[in-house]
Structure 1
Amino acid sequence: MIPTPKNVIEELNKYIIGQQDAKKAVAIALSTRERRRKLDPDMRREVMPKNIILIGPTGVGKTEIARRVAAMLDAPFVKVEATKFTEVGYVGRDVDSIIAELAENTVSKVYEDKVREVEASAERLATERLLGYVCQQLAKSADIANHARRKKQDRQAMAAASGANTSRGNSKLTRQRVARQLQNNELDDQLIEIEVGEEEVSYYQESATDLDESRDEFTDAGQKPRPACTQKRRRKVSVKEARRILTREEAGKLIDYEHVIDTSLHEVEENGVVFLDELDKLVAPRIDVGRDVSGEGVQRDLLPLVEGTTVMTRYGPVKTEHILFIAAGCFYQSKPSELIPELQGRFPLRVELSPLDEDDLVKILVEPKNSLTRQYKALLATEGVTLEFTGDGLREIAKLAVAMNRRSDNIGARRLNTVVERVLEEVNFSAPDRNGETVVVDGQYVSRHTSDLVGNENLSRYIL
C-alpha cells in the first residue's frame, strides 16, 4: 500500500521532532510521484519530479528526513556529498557516479530480495548436495569410522555411514540416518570437502569506488554484465559453513539475473531518491584566476542529471528524468539564489528548517522511537543496571547542549550525544560492578557530572 502524505508525516514524527514544513514538502513530492504513475503514458512523460532543497543548520533533521522516507518506501536511495565531486575531465569523481552507485545499491538489494524468495527451494537443493558429500566422504574415511567406534552412542549411525560393514541394501538406510543427523544439526562442526563454483554474483558486491572504471568498460561494450564463469574448486569447510555456501550457490542458479537487472533499473528510474548533501558548498566566492572545478563546474555537471539525461552504468542505461533529488545545505555564507539559475529552476521546492531550541532537544531525548535515552537504557540493562531520567534531568541536559551550541559551532541535536555521554560516563564505566542498581538521572545528577563544563568558555575538548 502506497502511503498518503498524512501517513508519511505520521511515520516521520516517530523519529524526527518538529520540522513540519520540511516533512510536508517531502510527503507532497512523494505523493506527486505516485499520482504520476496513474496518468496515461503521454501525460506521465511530461510530469517532472518536485525536487527539494532543505535549508537549515546542521543537526536539525535534514538527512534524517530523507533517510527515513527512503526506508519507509523501500525505495532506491543514495546519499552523497556534493563536495566529493569535481567537474568532468578533472581528477576526482564525476557526478554520473551518483547514478552508478544508486544502480549498484539497487541491484544488490533486488538480488538479495530474490535470494530470500527462493531460499526454501535453495535450502532443499543444498541439503541434497550436502547429504551426498557427507555420505561419500564418510564412506571413504577410515578416521570417521574409528571415531564412530570410540563413541558408543554414535556407533550405529557412523558405522552405517562409513560403509565398512554394510551391504549395498543398507545404503538407503544409511542416507536416511545421515539426513536425520543433518536435519538435527548434529554434524555442523564436522569438516568436509565440497566442490563449489567461483562466486556467481561477485559483480554485484564490488565496492562503489570501482564504479567509474567498470562503467567505462560496460559503456564500451554496450552490454549488461553477465554472471562470472564458474570454475569449480574444492574447499574444506565445516558442515554448517558448507550448508550456507551451497544454499547461496543454489539460490544463484534459481535466479534470473537479467530479470534482476531489468527490475533494478526500472526501480531506479521510477522510484530512485538521491540525497545531495552540502549543496551550499558548491557556491564558492568568485575567483579571478583558474577554473572552479569543484563548485560551479559541478553545478553545471549536475544540471543535466537533475534535468533528465541517460547515464550509462555497468548494468545498462539509466534515465534520470523521474529520479527525485533532495538537496540540503546550511547556506550560512551563501544563499540558494547564488546557485546557477538553471540549477535553481530544477529545485522548485525550498524549505527552511528551524534551529532547535531547548524544548525541541528535550523532546528529542524522549519522543523518537529509538531516542537517545532509550538506547542508553537498553545498553545498561544488559549489565543489570536500571537507568531512569527525570524531567529536570532531561531539561538540564538540553540546557547544557544549547549553551555549548551557542559557545561553539552549532551542531544541533548531535550535541546531545556529547552531553549525554559525559553525564553517563561514570555509570558506563562502573556498570559491570553495579548489577541490580537503579541510577536516577535528575537535575542534580547532571549538574554534578558536568560541573567542569558549566561556565567553562573553552569547551573544545568536549566538542564532537
Structure 2
Amino acid sequence: MTPQQTVEELDRYVIGQHKAKRAVAISLRNRYRRRQLSRELREDIRPKNLLLIGPTGVGKTEIARRIANISGIPFVKVEATKFTEVGYVGRDVDSMVRDLVEVSMSLLRAQRIEQMGPKARERAHEKLLDTLYPESRKYHPLSGYEKHSDKHGNLSMCIEETDSVSAKRQQLSEQLKSGELNEKEVEIDVNEQTTPMVEVFSSQTGFEEMGINMQGLQSMLGNMLPSRQKRRRVKISEARDILFQEEMNNLIDHDELQKEALSLAQESGVIFLDEIDKIASSYTSNTGPDVSREGVQRDLLPLVEGTSVMTKYGIVKTDHILFFAAGAFNVSKPSDLIPELQGRFPVRVEFDALNIEDFKRILVEPQNALTRQYKALLGVDGLDVEFTDDAIEAIARFAFQANADHENIGARRLHTIMEQLMEEAAFDAPQKLSGKYAIDGGSVEKAIAPLLKNHDLARFIL
C-alpha cells in the first residue's frame, strides 16, 4: 500500500493524529522500497525505528492494531513490561522474534490454504466418499471380462454393476456437497505422528536460547518414529475438516514454507513494543527498585541493532526488522531510556491530547464507533437507538471534563461514560423497552452529571 492509502485506511478507525499516521505509513512503505533495490544497496539500508510518544488513550495501540490487520506483513505487538533480564524468571526479549516467525508461518500457511485449498477439498471429498461407499472396482474391459463375464463372454453384468456403483456414488457425492449428511457419523482412519518427547519440553526448557535447532531435531526424531493410524468415529462435518487438514499437510512443502517464513520475518517483520516508558529508569526508581528493567533495555539493544536469534524453524537475523516503540511517558521521559536505546529510535512522533471536538468525532465517524456498536447490540433486542446531536455534544463534554478533573485516560473515558448512559436501556430491553429509543442531551445530563459532581463516585465509576 502507498502511504496515502495506509493513512486513508487508518482514518477509518483512528481520529486525528495525522503526524503519527504519516510517519507509520512512510516507515512501512520504505520496507517495500528497500526490497526493490539491488542486493548490495539493500543490505546497507536499515529501518528507521519509531518512538511514539503520547498520553494513554490517544490511538497509539489502535494504530498498531489496525496496521496489523491491513498491512499483510508479519506484525507482533508485545508489552515491554512482560520481559525480564536474562537470569530472571520471565520471558526473555528474544521470544518476541520467535513470536514474529510464528506469525510469518501462519500468514504463509493461510496463503497456501487459499492456493491449494480447492485441490485439498476435492481430495478430502473423494476420501470421504470412498469411506462411505467404497468403489469396489473401476471398470476396465479386461478385468471385467476375466472376473464377471459369463460362459458366453457377456460383459453386461459388469457394466450394470459398475453403473450402479457410479450412480450411488454420484448421489452420495451430491448429498455430501449439499451438507445433508453433516450430522451423520462415520469412522475414519487418522494419521497420527508419534510426538518426540523433545517437543513436549522444548517450550519450557528454552532449547532455542541454547542455539539448538528444535525444528531440525524434531524432524529427525519424527522421521525415525513410525506414523500410525487411529480409527475415530466423528460427524461427517468434522471428518471433512480432518481429512482436509491431512490433505493440506500432504500438499504443502514444509521445508520451503519454513524458509519463506524466516525470510518474510527478516525482511518485512514489524515488532510493536508497547509501554516502553515503564522500563525507563525514572519510572522504576519511583515505584521501587527493579534491577531487571535496565537489563531489559540492554537486552533490547542487540535486537534493535541487529543480531541472530535461534527459533525452532532456524536462525532469524533482526537487522531489517522494523521496531515501533510506544509509551505515555507521563512519569518518565524518553531521555530516561539508556542513551544507546534512544539512538536506535531516530524517528520520534508525539501524539496530540484529545479535545472535545475529537471526542465528538470519535463517537460518530470511525467505522467501529461506539454509537454504532450500541445501536447494533440493542438492535438485536428490537430497540432502535438514536443519538441526537446534543447527546453527542454532552457525552464528549463530560468525557473531556472527567479527564481534566481526574486521570486523563483519553478516548477510553468514552467507554465508561457510554456504559453508564446505556445501562438502563441494556437492562430493560427487550421486556420493558422496544421500538424507538432516543437519547438526547437531557438524558445524558441526567445519567452522567450527578456522578461528575460527586468526586468520590466519579473517581471509582468514571
TM-score with structure 1 setting the length: 0.86
Q: Any conservation in 2 of the 1:224–1:315 contact (CA below 8 Å)?
A: no
The separation in 2 between residues aligned to 1:128 and 1:76, in whole angstroms, is 35
The separation in 2 between residues aligned to 1:218 and 1:114, in whole angstroms, is 29
Q: Any conservation in 1 of the 2:54–2:353 contact (CA below 8 Å)?
A: yes
Q: Could you tell me which of 188, 196, 204 is aligned with 2:182? A: 188
Aligned-pair CA distance for 1:230:
3.9
- Single out whichever of 107-116 and 176-185 deviates more from structure 2: 176-185
> In the TM superposition, what are the counterparts of 1:83-102 in structure 2 within 5 Å?
83-102=81-100
> In the TM superposition, what are the counterparts of 1:108-187 in structure 2 within 5 Å?
108-135=106-133, 170-187=164-181
The separation in 1 between residues aligned to 2:371 and 2:184, in whole angstroms, is 45
Structure 1's unaligned 5+ residue stretches are 138-165
Aligned-pair CA distance for 1:90:
1.9
Amino acid at match of 1:196: V
Aligned-pair CA distance for 1:394:
0.7
Q: Any conservation in 1 of the 2:213–2:311 contact (CA below 8 Å)?
A: no
The separation in 1 between residues aligned to 2:257 and 2:183, in whole angstroms, is 35
Q: Could you tell me which of 315, 318, 324 is aligned with 2:316? A: 318
Aligned to 2:71: 73
Give yes or no for the alignment of 1:25 onto 2:18: no
> Identity over aligned residues, as a percent?
47
The separation in 2 between residues aligned to 1:132 and 1:392, in whole angstroms, is 66
Secondary structure of the structure 2 residue equivalent to 1:91: coil
Aligned to 2:103: 105
Q: Any conservation in 2 of the 1:76–1:272 contact (CA below 8 Å)?
A: yes
Q: Could you tell me which of 273, 276, 285 is aligned with 2:273? A: 276
The separation in 2 between residues aligned to 1:58 and 1:381, in whole angstroms, is 31
Aligned to 1:266: 263
The separation in 2 between residues aligned to 1:121 and 1:419, in whole angstroms, is 52
Aligned to 1:223: 216
Amino acid at match of 1:298: V
Aligned-pair CA distance for 1:212:
6.5
Q: Any conservation in 2 of the 1:57–1:330 contact (CA below 8 Å)?
A: yes
Cα 1:188–1:349 change in 2 (3 A) is same
Cα RMSD between the aligned structures?
2.8
The separation in 2 between residues aligned to 1:455 and 1:65, in whole angstroms, is 34
Aligned to 1:240: 237
The separation in 2 between residues aligned to 1:30 and 1:115, in whole angstroms, is 26
Aligned-pair CA distance for 1:201:
11
- Single out whichever of 116-125 and 312-321 deviates more from structure 2: 116-125
The separation in 2 between residues aligned to 1:343 and 1:240, in whole angstroms, is 53
Aligned-pair CA distance for 1:217:
7.6
The separation in 2 between residues aligned to 1:20 and 1:77, in whole angstroms, is 22
Aligned to 2:306: 308
Aligned to 1:147: none
Aligned-pair CA distance for 1:283:
1.1
Aligned-pair CA distance for 1:100:
0.5
Aligned to 1:425: 423
Amino acid at match of 1:450: I
Structure 2's unaligned 5+ residue stretches are 136-159
Cα 1:180–1:36 change in 2 (3 A) is closer
The separation in 1 between residues aligned to 2:305 and 2:2, in whole angstroms, is 26
Which deviations, in whole Å up to 9, do the C-alpha atoms of 1:189-211 show, x marking residues without a partner? 111111011379999xx99x937
Aligned-pair CA distance for 1:183:
2.6
Aligned-pair CA distance for 1:427:
1.0
- Single out whichever of 97-106 and 176-185 deviates more from structure 2: 176-185
Cα 1:319–1:337 change in 2 (3 A) is same
Amino acid at match of 2:271: V
